[in-house]
Structure 1
Amino acid sequence: MHTYRSHSCAELNKSNVGDTVRLSGWVHRIRDHGGVLFVDLRDHYGITQVLCDGDSAAFAELEGVRSEWCIRIDGEVKARDESLINPKLPTGEIEVYIREMEVLGSAGELPLIVFGDQEYPEETRLRYRYLDLRREAMQENMKLRSDVVASIRRRMWDTGFREYQTPIITASSPEGARDFLVPSRLHPGKFYALPQAPQLFKQLIMVSGFDKYFQVAPCFRDEDPRADRSPTDFYQLDMEMSFVEQQDVFDTIQPVIAGIFEEFGGGRKVDAEWPQISYRDSAMWYGTDKPDLRNPIKMQDVSEHFRGSGFAIFAKLLEQDGTQIRAIPAPTGGSRKFCDRMNAFAQKEGLPGMGYIFWRDQGEGMEAAGPLAKNIGPERTEAIRQQLGLDVGDAAFFLGGKPAAFESVAGKARSVIGEELNLTDKERFAFAWIVDFPMYEADEETGKVDFSHNPFSMPQGGLEALNGDPLNVLGYQYDLACNGYELVSGAIRNHKLDIMIKAFELAGYGADEVHKRFGGLVNAFQYGAPPHGGCAAGIDRIVMLLADEANIREVIMFPMNQRAEDLMMNAPSDPTSDQLMELGLRVIPRED
């Protein structure tokens, strides 16, 4: 017999009754039933109930065993009484009577309990992640992640892609986040960077004549943490194709993503229609560039109904350039109590409040109620209702000013309204391509123009478009949103050197700097670069959605905490004096 096991803890069933078996695993739970000890023995695959009584030579030793001890048992498979069968377990028809036992690894007092669904502080869970990962929910999340990655790889190969690996130690590049720098021992005073993405290398792969590339790639960004973003590293499905337009990329990646969600979505509906929405329309309708289309609410511009109206706050606001009044329809939200709750929400978000109108039945017909309705009068109120398609029992909320100042709050309000009124369909995955991103943005304080998205994207209109106002230039850039999260980001690349130089000049990078920072790509583009484009899909975020988790750390095996610290491995840590000396570095304490 094998040294540790003849079967896993999920294999035994009624056909094994009478067999002598050997199992190894962890003590999930132990129960003393008056001289008979029952143990739920757990391994990666499942649980088997094992037991012994005073007649067993192993009884005395088993009495000293506690939760999470790792043990090996030899015993005889027995059928459970009909009344004691556990239909929830694959092994629920049998139990194993222990004849011999060996402790493989004892456990001290546990900082967190593996059995059950107790909640623990994140600090405890991350410090003792190896225990946290033993819990059933975490085991399932990690198996799901592994299965998703395997399925992604199969689907990409089946689509005609090959996987190629790109360097982990490389040069710094502007990807929109801070680099992790790596000091060079052989070149004192110089630094490598961990790649924020394989962006430049996958473009060079296309220039090298490889038609289709993909990689399950680690990426490193020194970012502020969020619930849906790791602060240090993450994995993405990275892909690139030659001789393609934007629609070709969509047509290629959509079946892969849809197939993953159909395979692992637990029966939830996967929308077949993936609309293409411009960045401008997405901001207008949803207050974000990653809209949750499960929520049917679509915001609208209602400025004309308030211009010159009796509601002085909005009327005066609209006299300023660049201002706007937007309405958030709230079907079934037509009660003063709900309107007051939403007003309080806006105040928590730092706004004075949200204006509102709700429509009620007064017996003799519909009546518009609320402070706004009184100020602007019945004609304007009725025009707003008709524009928004609302009826009795519905409401609308209003925010005004420069869109950049209130858009994000409006987007949050739309989400809250959808949740509170049960308008958001939780049993589906709704996708949308967000397209036509602006190439550039201007700093509000300095007015300096910089890239707003991927700097290596092809501008729509080519070189001619770059001769006008940079803030009007759109790029062949696109994101895929699903249920309020960005899952995919990509672009058709700028493969023409003259257009690239001009694009960087508009963002303040001279030709010399472009050659210096991106010499490899610039040089390659002088030797017949093909048109190419691609995208990258965030694997951690995909698994988070499939696992129905709200925090990305629940689907990463060994994540950092909110302060970008690894509490288990004590990282980041202080370097030794020898390490600093070898690298020619000195740490200067930061002044408080």
Structure 2
Amino acid sequence: MADTMNGLKRTAYCGELTTAQIGQELVLAGWAAKQRNLGNLIFIDLRDRTGIAQLAFDDSSDRAAFEKAASVRGEYVLMARGMLRRRESVNRDIPTGEVELYVTELKILAVSETPPFDIKDGIKTNEELRLRYRYLDLRRPELQSAILMRHRIVKLVRDYFDQNHFVEIETPILIKSTPEGARDYLVPSRVHPGKFYALPQSPQLYKQLSMLAGFDRYLQIARCFRDEDLRADRQPEFTQIDLEMSFVDEIDVQTVNEGLMKRIFREILGRDLELPLRRLPWQEAMERFGSDKPDTRFGLELVNLTDLLKNTEFAVFKGAMEAGGSVRAINVKGAAGTLSRKEIDKLADVAKLFKAKGLAFTRATADAHSSSFEKFLTPDEVSAVHERMGLETGDVLLVVADPRDSVVFAALGALRLNLAKRLALIPEGSYDLLWVTDFPLFEYDPDEGRYFAMHHPFTSPNLDDLDKMESDPGHCRARAYDLVLNGTELGGGSIRISDPSVQSRMFAALGMSPEEAQEKFGFLLNAFKYGVPPHGGMAYGLDRLVMLLLGKDSIRDVIAYPKVQNASELMTDCPNTVDSKSLDELSIAVTRTED
């Protein structure tokens, strides 16, 4: 039978003990991480969320405490009273390594079976097993540190925005379904049979309505839900740092958020950000890095060769350019000794994943000069390409041509990231934060045969491009901006449409009839009749921010109870079936297909 606390109260945390407390009677509580029995001496490493403290017992101390200590196994829950003293053998590997608690009273509050894996950092256990026993996995110091860091960042965010006159407003979780982008998670209504709520993909409309309501600066640590196609770095539910501001332009919104980033970097990483951050127009980001979330910590920038080869007879390049595409390349300096023909073939496979038909190359070594395409060019064309690319002995040129610039950008952008990792081109511990601005307002979907809003249909067009909304939507720019950290989109936002006539034009450009717009967004259009301030905002992915600041590879490492790639939670076996009575109450019939 386990002990009870019987009035014993914890007076200190394990990881916070210092030499200043030597001589004090303290009570510690936690889990047994390790027990070492030396016969007449027993030592237990006690772990709580702050760290490790050593408990010491000898056969001259309280006999009951000594005998209990001898029975302790890993993950037993303990409470110990004793005197803090200096350790004879200092452990420099832990912050509390100079002191130990000489125990006079020990309570075993709960026993534990042998865990399915070791509760310590650096384990090689299969992730699926760890997620099935997530409550045990979360006892590991590495994961606890990440969750505690997340807590610190959230507190810092709230404090910063409070000091800048933002009001935290909770918006509904059960909302109207307005599918435009990712799929909604739907929730059936029992009270309204056949009707459904949706879980919010973001609080977008409510935060805009909060501006119309006069709150002028809104903040929410918002839970959001998106039923997206499966990706390793996505979660079906996630947390946003969500904000909106009235009477502002892009620079106002960006300036406030730069202040937040400066504070986070200083207080979390001990680094000082130089402000203002760089601003890179979307078109320039694509031309130079092949990505709208560029990692600019290394070179390998894209170079456009289209004008040099406009008269070429090489069919691959000629066909791409005649169809409106381009020929672009990157120069991997000094990599000829590393990138063999076999390695280049592997890189071609990477390019093909992004719909490139192939990868042309030139490999310049001291012994030989090999190329998959130069024999089809004239000597003048070869010379011009070498000059523009700055080709030197030891370099490797990688070239992609395609009728669609989007394919060229995506393939070369992916190649430069692949090569940066393979060749260790990214300085360790480096952070690169910048804005990408002037996004296209629309993007064309050839499968659907129509334009979609690149961000969302409430993003304001660039004032200089208003006349292009109907006549030339493909070249209409948005007042949108993304904050990018180390090649990952950290957050994004825009100045919103506040003119009802422009909002109507936006819906029309998206192929939405006035009746459809009224049905989906009538509440917003009606609200716009009552005085809308100019407003804008943005949202950060909190999970992604914590992941990047801690240098983790997966957002699952910074979420307490994450889901896996197929959107299930292994620990609780969720989602699962429900009983027929519950379905009948919701007026739902389910068609089940059994293997």
**TM-score surpassing 0.5?**
yes
Give the Cα separation in 1 of the matches to 2:187 and 2:366: 68
Matches within 5 A, 1:133-152: 133-152=138-157
1:589 to 554, 579, 592: 592
Give the Cα separation in 2 of the matches to 1:464 and 1:92: 70
Match of 1:96 in 2: 101
Give the Cα separation in 2 of the matches to 1:381 and 1:263: 53
C-alpha contact 2:31 2:48 (8 A) present in aligned 1: yes
C-alpha contact 1:166 1:198 (8 A) present in aligned 2: yes
SS at match of 1:57: helix
Give the Cα separation in 2 of the matches to 1:157 and 1:379: 63
Match of 2:137 in 1: 132
Matched, 1:197 2:202: yes
1:137–1:60 distance in 2 versus 1, CA, 3 Å: same
1:306-358 CA-to-partner distances (Å, cap 9, x unmatched) read 3444644324443x312211101212223374564233222255366422224
SS at match of 1:467: helix
1:115-162 CA-to-partner distances (Å, cap 9, x unmatched) read 342122221111111111110110110111010111111111222222
Give the Cα separation in 2 of the matches to 1:151 and 1:10: 23
Structure 1 residue identity aligned to 2:201: Q
How far residue 163 of structure 1 moved from its aligned partner, in angstroms, is 1.6
C-alpha contact 1:271 1:428 (8 A) present in aligned 2: no
1:346 to 348, 352, 362: 348
Structure 1 residue identity aligned to 2:475: N
Match of 2:383 in 1: 382
Matches within 5 A, 1:480-491: 480-491=483-494
Match of 2:532 in 1: 529
Alpha-carbon RMSD across the aligned residues, in angstroms, is 2.4
Give the Cα separation in 1 of the matches to 2:469 and 2:320: 33
SS at match of 1:251: helix
Matches within 5 A, 1:485-504: 485-504=488-507
Deviates more, 1:545-554 or 1:235-244: 235-244
Give the Cα separation in 1 of the matches to 2:516 and 2:360: 50
How far residue 493 of structure 1 moved from its aligned partner, in angstroms, is 0.8
How far residue 419 of structure 1 moved from its aligned partner, in angstroms, is 2.8
1:575 to 578, 584, 593: 578
Matches within 5 A, 1:35-434: 35-55=40-60, 56-81=63-88, 84-230=89-235, 232-265=236-269, 267=271, 270=273, 272=275, 274-309=277-312, 311-318=314-321, 320-335=322-337, 337-338=339-340, 340-350=342-352, 353-360=358-365, 369-376=370-377, 378-401=379-402, 402-434=404-436
C-alpha contact 1:270 1:428 (8 A) present in aligned 2: no
1:274–1:227 distance in 2 versus 1, CA, 3 Å: farther
1:115–1:34 distance in 2 versus 1, CA, 3 Å: farther
How far residue 105 of structure 1 moved from its aligned partner, in angstroms, is 1.3
Structure 1 residue identity aligned to 2:65: A
SS at match of 1:429: coil
SS at match of 1:30: strand
Structure 2 residue identity aligned to 1:153: R
How far residue 90 of structure 1 moved from its aligned partner, in angstroms, is 3.1
Deviates more, 1:258-267 or 1:69-78: 258-267
How far residue 285 of structure 1 moved from its aligned partner, in angstroms, is 1.9
1:272–1:333 distance in 2 versus 1, CA, 3 Å: farther
Give the Cα separation in 2 of the matches to 1:515 and 1:6: 61
How far residue 244 of structure 1 moved from its aligned partner, in angstroms, is 1.6
Task: Report sequence identity in percent.
Answer: 36
Normalised to the residue count of structure 2, the TM-score between the two structures is 0.92
Give the Cα separation in 2 of the matches to 1:196 and 1:181: 11
SS at match of 2:529: coil
Gaps of 5+ in 2: 1-5
Match of 1:20 in 2: 25
Give the Cα separation in 2 of the matches to 1:79 and 1:591: 65
Gaps of 5+ in 1: none
Match of 1:453 in 2: 455
Matches within 5 A, 1:2-21: 3-21=8-26
Deviates more, 1:383-392 or 1:46-55: 383-392
1:473 to 465, 471, 476: 476
Normalised to the residue count of structure 1, the TM-score between the two structures is 0.92
Deviates more, 1:147-156 or 1:417-426: 417-426
